[in-house]
Structure 1
Amino acid sequence: MEVSASVRDHFIHLVKDIFPNLTTDDPLYSVLALGSILFVAALIYIVARLIVRPQIANWVYKSNNKWDNALQKHGFFRRLMHLFPALFIYITTPVLIDNEAVMHGMVIKSAQLYMLYSGLLALYAMLSTVEDVYNASALSRRAPITGFIQVTKLAFAIITILLSISLIVDRSPLLIVSGLTAIAAVLLLIFRDTILGFVAGIQIAANRMFNTGDWIAMPKYEVDGEILEIGLTNVKVQNWDKTISTLPTYSLTTEAVKNWRGMQESGGRRIKRAIYIDVHSIKLCDNDMLERFSKIRYINDYIDKKKNELRAYHRDYSIDESDLLNSRRLTNIGTFRAYLEAYLRKHPDVNQELTLMVRQLPPNELGLPLEIYCFSAQKEWVKYEKVQADIFDHVMAMLDLFDLRAYQRDGHLSLLAHREHSAYGNSNESRSTQKDDQEKSESNQKSNDE
């Protein structure tokens, strides 16, 4: 109080030196006092902005900590500088301006509101810093906190608005909150997506359902790409065509979503594709075919083993190998299936620890599906597609060596059949014409003889 009185006396003495007849009750005094306060507050802000803030920035960049760099990035120190002039105005206004003056309450409330919102912005910067530090840690792979950070920001924003209203109307914040219960239904309608997003965020974090960087697919929304951000109300997904889709957060818990994280964390990416074998090309293997197959490195042991098994079977049951009705023989499709499995077992880009098989699916009007089911060790999209293409390039090229054909619905077959039919019809017609001509010639010859 003594300091305040001394400052006030010195200011009044300074003003009377300039305006001898001016009193503290004169409105001009309040204007001069307010102008002086604002002038000094502006000087404080300029000094803080031009001297203090650069010095703080130098300390931040010289330190090895990451959190202070994040504070600087999000403007925490810049926003904090606004508190000093507002605090100066709030402290010096009661000293220089009487409580009964009209502008006293207005200046005090303005300073309080300015400090309140400056503090809110500084708090936002702190929360953003916490989010950045968390996202840079290993914990971010387990659960995102962007939604919770946004909920916290929203909560502080609501508190700030309530405090601002209470300052303006000079009422207790509790009284204002009690009055909001009357419009609770309206607030629930307004903040419907926010509430649903908050609940969904809790479910996502608690169950570790999704995280930033996960590859998800939602056919309903034509979404297929990586999650960029999981917010309070929206989720941003960058599709593989580089477009960005925005979804409601609660849709991740209420709609069907395929998360490819399991594939990315596993040892391989699945290859599951079938080729259709023309059933007319499937046949029993003769000795020449077996001799040719035994020269293939991957299945020479398989051929020798099967020959010994069949020889033992025929000997045990006294069956002549030349007896086609009762003897057992290998098929080209079965041998080809064994070859493909052996080929995949030796492939360097196929994970041998996961499921690997070559199986037949039920035949249909397109032929006999022969499916390759394995896992590529290369999980990156481009490399995965290359591995898959190389495998099936080899499969298609090897069909002819096993006397097999892939089924292909050729549109030109009907045209060829039509041409063959036309050629056959023309040939019959020509033969019929020749026969008629011959009969006429014989008839004329007979008439001439008579």
Structure 2
Amino acid sequence: MDLQELFCLVNDFLIARDYTENTAMYISLIVNCIAVGIIAFLIDYVIRRLLIALAHRIAPKTKNNFDDFLIKNKLPQNLAHVIPILFIEQVSPFLFVDFPDFQHGFLIAIDIFLVILVIRVIRSILNSLRDFLKTLNAFKDKPIDSYIQVFMIFVWMVGIILSFSILTGKSIIAFVTTLGALSAVILLIFRDTILGFVASIQVAVNDMVRIGDWITMEKYGADGDVVEINLATVKVQNFDKTITTIPTYALISDSFKNWRGMNDSGGRRIKRAIIIKAQSIHYLSIEEIEELKKIQLISEYVTNRQEDISTFNTTHAADKSLLINGRNLTNIGVFRKYVESYLENHPAINKDMTIMSRQLAQTPKGIPLEIYAFSQDKVWKNYEYIMGDIFDHLLAAVPYFNLEIYELNMDTSKS
């Protein structure tokens, strides 16, 4: 006995129970729909359990974890839903044999639902591909989300076109032609999406930003690591753990600083100045020079420089009754050399990169003596510790050269 005979028997039974023919048809329709729904649910349940069990048995035996992501993104469940829908579509002519108008609408709804199910299957595959590629070293820092979103937008557009074609009964070509006339409106609606897509391609091709890069973008208040790049936005986790969202196309339209070059190099730059009070700068006397020779890092330098200067002054008959005559050592010059020697001997400083102690232009506050070097350790916490350790020592060393550090006097009390 096939399904059509079964539906007819139900209808004949209801007529035999003294129901009118119309009433019997409606009750028969309801009963048959319930029966088909129960059968479809059981088919869905059985197939879903079978597919999930089969997937869990096969997945551990494969070499890669792509199938694990297929399970995680519910591909077996989505595939299982397709078969019951096809079953309902096949039996619908028998269900609605007495209701042709209703059958037509029902089949349209079933076809649209099938389109949605296919889209869900494709989405599961694309999401699995995205998750799988993110596990590969070659794609970890690439904007995979952007490309997956573009594919999904294309899939949804095709799905919407198919759905409208099914709903209206018009051909796909006619529908696409209509969309062509509305292209200006479509471009306006999807402006950010299109800009984001173009920006994502340019960012990837030009290798401007990768996931994990530290970027600074003052316009958007971003200063931290890039954690996600998708079609519309770039998410940056700032160092205070807040999240800043930047439009993807802003990466090619606005300026920003990417610190990847620092991370890829051999060190992180230290660039900070000590401000020396101008009044404390003077020529060194013989007594002061002899005292500075006791400092091991510059003992040889001071000795050699003193000999060179003495030879020059003797040759040129300089009158040393005044220190200004001839050549002389200054306390700030010797201190500058000490700073440079200290940096060159510091174990945390990269010796292959620039090491310099330079005097900057005079300011109303004094003479800035800038330290320019690169720490070997680029981790923020360790970098700050190294820089603090260097300046702790240098600030404590300043008085040994009879120099003073500028400090703003905030005492406003009257004498």
Same fold (TM over 0.5): yes
C-alpha distance in 2 between matches for 1:360 and 1:325: 21
Q: Cα deviation per residue 1:96-143 (whole Å; 9 max; x = unaligned)?
A: 654972333233222222221112112112111111122221222553
Is 1:142–1:208's contact at 8 Å kept on the other side of the alignment?
no
Q: Please identify the structure whose Cα radius of gyration is greater.
A: 1
Q: Percent identity?
A: 37
C-alpha distance in 2 between matches for 1:311 and 1:141: 64
Name the counterpart of 1:111. Answer: 110
Q: Cα deviation per residue 1:387-439 (whole Å; 9 max; x = unaligned)?
A: 11111111110000011001111122x54xx52xxxxxxxxxxxxxxxxxxxx
Is 1:34–1:93's contact at 8 Å kept on the other side of the alignment?
no
Is 2:133–2:140's contact at 8 Å kept on the other side of the alignment?
no
| CA-CA distance at 1:314 after TM superposition | 3.4
Q: Cα deviation per residue 1:297-316 (whole Å; 9 max; x = unaligned)?
A: 21122122212322332344
Is 1:116–1:160's contact at 8 Å kept on the other side of the alignment?
yes
C-alpha distance in 1 between matches for 2:75 and 2:192: 30
Name the counterpart of 1:405. Answer: 404
Relative distance call for 1:128 and 1:12 in structure 2 (3 A) is closer
Name the counterpart of 2:264. Answer: 265
5 Å-filtered alignment, 1:9-158, equals 11=6, 15=10, 30-61=29-60, 63-94=62-93, 98=97, 101-141=100-140, 143-158=142-157
| CA-CA distance at 1:202 after TM superposition | 1.6
Name the counterpart of 1:434. Answer: none
C-alpha distance in 1 between matches for 2:250 and 2:368: 38
Is 2:7–2:94's contact at 8 Å kept on the other side of the alignment?
no
1:212 aligns with 2:201: no
Name the counterpart of 1:247. Answer: 246
Relative distance call for 1:272 and 1:85 in structure 2 (3 A) is same
| CA-CA distance at 1:372 after TM superposition | 0.4
Is 1:8–1:96's contact at 8 Å kept on the other side of the alignment?
no
| CA-CA distance at 1:33 after TM superposition | 4.6
C-alpha distance in 2 between matches for 1:321 and 1:401: 24
5 Å-filtered alignment, 1:303-318, equals 303-318=302-317
Q: Secondary structure at 2:357's aligned position in 1?
A: strand
Q: Secondary structure at 1:193's aligned position in 2?
A: helix
Q: Cα deviation per residue 1:24-63 (whole Å; 9 max; x = unaligned)?
A: x956655555444322211111112344324423433564
1:166 aligns with 2:161: no
Q: Secondary structure at 1:82's aligned position in 2?
A: helix
Q: Secondary structure at 2:244's aligned position in 1?
A: strand
C-alpha distance in 1 between matches for 2:264 and 2:94: 66
5 Å-filtered alignment, 1:265-284, equals 265-284=264-283
Name the counterpart of 1:348. Answer: 347
C-alpha distance in 2 between matches for 1:340 and 1:141: 42
Report the residue type matching 2:38 in the other structure: F
Is 1:376–1:384's contact at 8 Å kept on the other side of the alignment?
yes
| CA-CA distance at 1:95 after TM superposition | 6.3
Q: Cα deviation per residue 1:145-192 (whole Å; 9 max; x = unaligned)?
A: 211111111111111111111111111122112112333222222212
| CA-CA distance at 1:327 after TM superposition | 3.1
Relative distance call for 1:73 and 1:9 in structure 2 (3 A) is closer
C-alpha distance in 2 between matches for 1:221 and 1:99: 65
C-alpha distance in 2 between matches for 1:325 and 1:299: 23
Name the counterpart of 1:326. Answer: 325
Supply the RMSD in Å over aligned alpha carbons. Answer: 2.7
Q: Secondary structure at 2:279's aligned position in 1?
A: helix
| CA-CA distance at 1:285 after TM superposition | 1.5
Report the residue type matching 2:341 in the other structure: A
Relative distance call for 1:182 and 1:9 in structure 2 (3 A) is closer
Is 1:143–1:205's contact at 8 Å kept on the other side of the alignment?
yes
C-alpha distance in 1 between matches for 2:44 and 2:350: 64
Report the residue type matching 1:262 in the other structure: G
Report the residue type matching 2:385 in the other structure: K
Is 2:165–2:175's contact at 8 Å kept on the other side of the alignment?
yes
Q: Secondary structure at 1:232's aligned position in 2?
A: coil
Name the counterpart of 1:432. Answer: none
Name the counterpart of 1:175. Answer: 174
C-alpha distance in 2 between matches for 1:150 and 1:372: 48
Is 2:212–2:227's contact at 8 Å kept on the other side of the alignment?
yes
Q: Cα deviation per residue 1:61-101 (whole Å; 9 max; x = unaligned)?
A: 56452111112222222222211211222233346654972
Report the residue type matching 1:282 in the other structure: I
Name the counterpart of 1:423. Answer: none
Is 1:194–1:233's contact at 8 Å kept on the other side of the alignment?
yes
Name the counterpart of 1:238. Answer: 237
Is 2:211–2:229's contact at 8 Å kept on the other side of the alignment?
yes
5 Å-filtered alignment, 1:394-433, equals 394-412=393-411, 415=413, 418-419=414-415
| CA-CA distance at 1:326 after TM superposition | 3.4
| CA-CA distance at 1:16 after TM superposition | 7.6
How many residues are treated as equivalent by the alignment?
410
Report the residue type matching 2:367 in the other structure: L
Q: Secondary structure at 1:138's aligned position in 2?
A: coil
Is 1:82–1:115's contact at 8 Å kept on the other side of the alignment?
no
| CA-CA distance at 1:19 after TM superposition | 6.0
Is 1:33–1:97's contact at 8 Å kept on the other side of the alignment?
no
